[in-house]
Structure 1
Amino acid sequence: MADLEGLRILVVEDEALIAMALEDILLDLGCVVVGPAASVEAALQLVDGPLDGALLDVNVKGTLIYPVAEKLAARGVPVALCSGYALTSAIPPPYDRWPQIAKPYNPAMVRGTMERAFLAGTAVDPAA
């Protein structure tokens, strides 16, 4: 298993119980949780800080997260998009090729996606 210990991960999730569950998973992995932010506006306040990755709910209080994702990707911060909807229908191009995690969160899926996307350096260029 890859070492996720100490990674600073931004969490954007508007549902408090879901955010707490994801935070517990990340803490169990040894990560430092930044946030969680419950709105796009709150997330934008956190994107300029030191981050190693971000787990972003696609739809936050009715607002799509893509401006936050693009700002992070432009900084080279790896992003995984999270959705409780069928991923193939919830995430449009070009974002549909970014790493994705389905909700409800499965600890093994979160860990595996983070290992591939955050440790392997597979950040997606939003302009590509």
Structure 2
Amino acid sequence: MAVILYRICENSPPSAEDFTSHVSSAVKRKIAQAKAALKRNPKDCDPSGLSVFLTEQRIRHACSVFRFAEGAYVYTIKVETDEGVIQPTRSDGHFTYWPLKSTKLKDRAQLAFGPVDRATVYVA
């Protein structure tokens, strides 16, 4: 089953750096849980989770409140559910996606909108 993910990226077109993340110790625990849920060899999954949203409405809201989103671009990436692990991170529609190392996200990215203007990007 395919899932559409929304990701805020600094570049257009997106660079490989737009699909990397920094890992904190709290996230490392979630990665271990996600890998266990996937029942794959832990070396198969990227150790860095990516912040994503599953709907355009939620990503637009995030863009309106996150200062770093000003001037950024939002891309959609279509992934299959067996290409990694997607888990909710917060109650605001934010998810973390741990792709398999073999998943090439940059090559699939499609521009949804941008550059972001935080003052006008979200309409409730």
TM bin (shorter chain): under 0.3
Answer 1 or 2: which has greater helix percent: 1
Answer 1 or 2: which has greater strand percent: 2
User: Greater relative contact order: 1 or 2 (C-alpha under 8 angstroms, separation 6 or more)?
Assistant: 2
Give the TM-score taking structure 2 as reference length: 0.28
In our comparison, the structure showing a higher alpha carbon Rg is 2
